[in-house]
């Protein structure tokens, strides 16, 4: 004898099925969008052949599509065995410049996320500097065996002599691509107090200046201010002289007037650098001038001349000093901490309306006609026309694909949570009845005519299927990334008249006119968002305790989502 499942248990299982179908569809939409974004980003990368990766994977036979998990391509053997994955540093690290341009580096990982090796795919640096790198195998072997986190931490890498800038840029590109950061300065050696004593004899130690982090106070043994010190790096690391940037020590008196300058390090041509440093007048050019005044200088207007025989090198150093002075003169107020959620008046207002609506929906207050009318006026006037916070398929689809911006839009996030959770756990479709400004507008038009249009039977069933068909269309558009705006299938953007399109306004007007003849005509026969919430509802007349046509339609939508995944 087969025992029948009890009615309460059957209801719970059916409700779990309905919620599960929606959750699965959401996950599939999100997964497919992540895949699509990865392919679009991958299209901007340099094509990599299997032959190019075989030095790291001798058994490699094919590369996968771009994997959204890491943004690279997985490598497989002929039998389907996963051998690892490869990444490229471009375009994520294209702003990391070596001597004259960025370098795109291939990074090969084994299945345990350790680096098998790195190789140059393309470089915009000079042929001579790149040539020095390519013939130095020891340089590339420095990454072998590093875990992803270790390489992202930008470990100390031995540069190639004669191509130091290019070497450092390759290391910085790898670190940047793996989620770390490039070195702030091309000259990692910090200023030592001994360097400053040449210009400020009483200097004993440095003290930080929080609002000007690259400018340091110089104090004597008694803690008295004797001056300030800084350098041109990292502000001027991008300024190239004849052969590379230079780092210049900048020393100031207590009133922030230049007291002295000295070359700390350089990538420039040695003979030209010597000519410049031998010229005592050149480094005295700025002595006695105020820091802020130097920052406002123009090289041409100021008549600053370079050193004969080393014009390009010396002019570059002068420009570096002016640029650094401009930045050092700025007082930077510390950025206020960002709140963990949006606390703007708009977000707070939407939150208050949501809480008020829930109180009305779940208490005896909903029976008070005057309160219901006042509440609907708030929904239409404030939530709709002022805040324009409405649930829609365009918004739900965007959040499904890209995540919920609850920090930036906490009010709308709370509204969305109430709309989705109330029907699931409380059996109340709170959004449609107590939160939707357009639904409130339809209610205001209810019974305005002395007669009504009755829609029953087969016609009611046919029209009631239209929102489900719209849901199918939303699924196709979102997963196929078709060039069609989902805003145009619903009337909600009509509350923002200045940006609403004609399609949105037309649907809004037609829906309101129809509601004069049929109670909540748009909600019943045109709203895909309402259809989704109705399907999620626990119990009630609109959520029967047996498998119905809406459950079949939901299964068809799930099958459609799976089909779109495999089709792509």
% the chain with pLDDT above 70: 97
413-433 pLDDT, tens digit per residue, is 999 999 999 999 988 889 999
| pLDDT for residue 341 is more than 80 | no
> What is the rounded CA–CA span in Å between residue 552 and residue 550?
5
pLDDT band at 3 (very low <50, low <70, confident <90, very high): low
Query: pLDDT value at position 544?
Result: 62
Q: Apex CA 551: angle with CA 424 and CA 537, to 5°?
A: 20
Residue 37 has pLDDT above 80, yes or no: yes
Q: Stretch 510-518: mean pLDDT, rounded?
A: 93
Specify whether the CB–CB gap between 273 and 348 falls below 8 A: no
User: Does residue 375 carry a pLDDT above 50?
Assistant: yes
- Answer whether residue 540 shows pLDDT above 60: no
Give the pLDDT confidence of 266-285 residue by residue, as tens digits: 988 889 889 999 988 888 88
Give this prediction's pTM: 0.79
Of 204, 256, 202, nearest in space to 229 by CA: 256
Q: Which of 91-105, 385-399, 412-426, 529-543 has the lowest mean pLDDT?
A: 529-543
Instruction: Give the H/E segment covering residue 130.
Output: helix 127-134
Mean pLDDT across the chain, nearest whole number?
A: 90
Report the distance separating Cα 373 and Cα 379, nearest Å. Answer: 10
Instruction: Identify which has the larger pLDDT, 10 or 137.
Output: 137
Residue 12 confidence class, pLDDT cut points 50, 70, 90? confident
User: Which residue has better confidence, 544 or 565?
Assistant: 565
H or E segment and range at residue 365? none
Count other C-beta atoms under 10 Å from residue 354's C-beta.
Answer: 24
The DSSP string of 400-439 is HHH---TTT-HHHHHHHHHHHHIIIIIS--HIIIII-HHH
Whether residue 4 is predicted with pLDDT greater than 70 in this model: the reply is no
pLDDT higher than 60, residue 550? yes
Do 214 and 235 contact (CB within 8 A), yes or no?
Answer: yes
pLDDT at 1: 43
pLDDT at residue 498, rounded to an integer? 82
pLDDT tens for 181-223 read 878 888 888 999 999 999 999 999 999 998 898 999 999 999 9
pLDDT of residue 86: 97
**Tell me, what DSSP letter sits at residue 162?**
T
Q: d(Cα 404, Cα 74) in Å, to the nearest integer? A: 29
Percent above pLDDT 90 for the chain: 65
Q: Kindly tell me if the per-residue pLDDT of 543 is higher than 70.
A: no
Distance separating alpha carbons of residues 237 and 245, to the nearest angstrom: 6
CA distance 555 to 18: 9
Angstrom CA distances, 8 to 13, 173, 545, stand at 9, 60, 9
Strands 103-109 and 258-266: unpaired
Q: Is the pLDDT of residue 2 over 50?
A: no
According to DSSP, the residues that pair with 263 across neighbouring strands are 248
The pLDDT tens digits for 78-110 are 999 999 999 999 999 998 888 778 999 999 999
pLDDT at 497: 83
Select the highest-mean-pLDDT range: 93-102, 306-315, 522-531: 522-531
Question: How far is Cα 568 from Cα 562, in angstroms, rounded to an integer?
Answer: 10
Please check the confidence at residue 541 and state whether its pLDDT lies above 70.
Answer: no
**Helix (H/G/I), strand (E/B), else coil: 564:** helix
């Amino acid at each position: 004898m087969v025992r029948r499942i009890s009615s309460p248990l059957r209801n719970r299982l059916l409700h779990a099925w309905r919620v599960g179908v929606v959750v699965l569809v959401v996950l599939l939409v999100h997964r497919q969008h992540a895949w699509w974004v990865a392919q679009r980003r991958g299209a901007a990368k340099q094509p990599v052949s299997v032959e190019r990766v075989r030095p790291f994977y001798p058994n490699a036979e094919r590369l996968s599509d771009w994997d959204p998990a890491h943004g690279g391509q997985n490598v497989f053997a002929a039998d389907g065995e996963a051998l690892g994955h490869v990444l490229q540093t471009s375009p994520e690290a294209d702003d990391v410049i070596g001597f004259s341009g960025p370098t795109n580096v291939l990074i090969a990982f084994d299945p345990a996320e350790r680096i098998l090796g790195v190789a140059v795919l393309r470089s915009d640096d000079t042929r001579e500097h790149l040539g020095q790198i390519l013939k130095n195998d020891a340089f590339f072997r420095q990454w072998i065996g590093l875990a992803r986190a270790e390489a992202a931490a930008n470990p100390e890498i031995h540069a190639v002599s004669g191509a130091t800038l290019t070497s450092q840029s390759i290391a910085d590109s790898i670190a940047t691509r793996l989620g770390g950061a490039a070195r702030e300065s091309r000259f990692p050696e910090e200023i030592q107090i001994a360097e400053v004593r040449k210009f400020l004899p009483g200097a004993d130690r440095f003290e930080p200046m929080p609002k000007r982090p690259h400018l340091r106070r110089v104090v004597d043994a008694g803690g008295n201010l004797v001056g300030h010190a800084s350098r041109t790096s990292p502000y001027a690391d991008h300024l190239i002289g004849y052969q590379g940037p230079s780092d210049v020590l900048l020393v100031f008196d207590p009133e922030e007037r230049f007291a002295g300058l000295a070359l700390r390090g350089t990538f420039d041509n040695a003979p030209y650098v010597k000519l410049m440093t031998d010229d005592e007048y050149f480094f005295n050019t700025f002595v006695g001038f105020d820091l802020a005044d130097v920052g406002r200088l123009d090289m041409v207007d100021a008549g600053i001349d370079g050193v004969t025989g080393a014009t390009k090198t010396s002019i570059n150093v002068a420009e570096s000093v002016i640029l650094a002075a401009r930045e050092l003169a700025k007082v930077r107020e510390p950025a206020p901490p960002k709140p963990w959620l949006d606390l703007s008046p708009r977000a707070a207002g939407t939150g208050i309306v949501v809480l008020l609506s829930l109180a009305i929906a779940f208490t005896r207050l909903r029976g008070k006609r005057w309160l219901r009318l006042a509440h609907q006026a708030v929904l239409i006037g404030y939530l709709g026309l002022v805040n324009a916070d409405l649930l829609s398929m365009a918004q739900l689809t965007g959040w499904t694909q890209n995540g919920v911006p609850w920090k930036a839009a906490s009010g709308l996030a709370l509204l969305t949570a109430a709309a989705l959770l109330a029907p699931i756990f409380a059996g109340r479709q709170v959004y449609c009845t107590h939160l939707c400004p357009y639904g409130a507008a339809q209610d205001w038009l209810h019974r305005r005519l002395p007669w009504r249009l009755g829609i029953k039977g087969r016609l009611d069933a046919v029209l009631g299927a239209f929102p489900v068909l719209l849901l199918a269309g939303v699924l196709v558009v979102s997963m196929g990334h078709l060039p069609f705006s989902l805003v145009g299938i619903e009337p909600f953007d009509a509350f923002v008249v200045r940006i609403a399109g004609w399609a949105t306004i037309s649907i809004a007007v037609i829906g309101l006119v129809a509601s004069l003849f049929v109670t909540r005509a748009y909600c019943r026969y045109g709203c895909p968002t309402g259809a989704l919430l109705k399907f999620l509802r626990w119990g009630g007349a609109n959520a029967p305790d047996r498998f119905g046509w809406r459950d079949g339609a939901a299964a068809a939508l799930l099958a459609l989502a799976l089909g779109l995944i495999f089709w792509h």
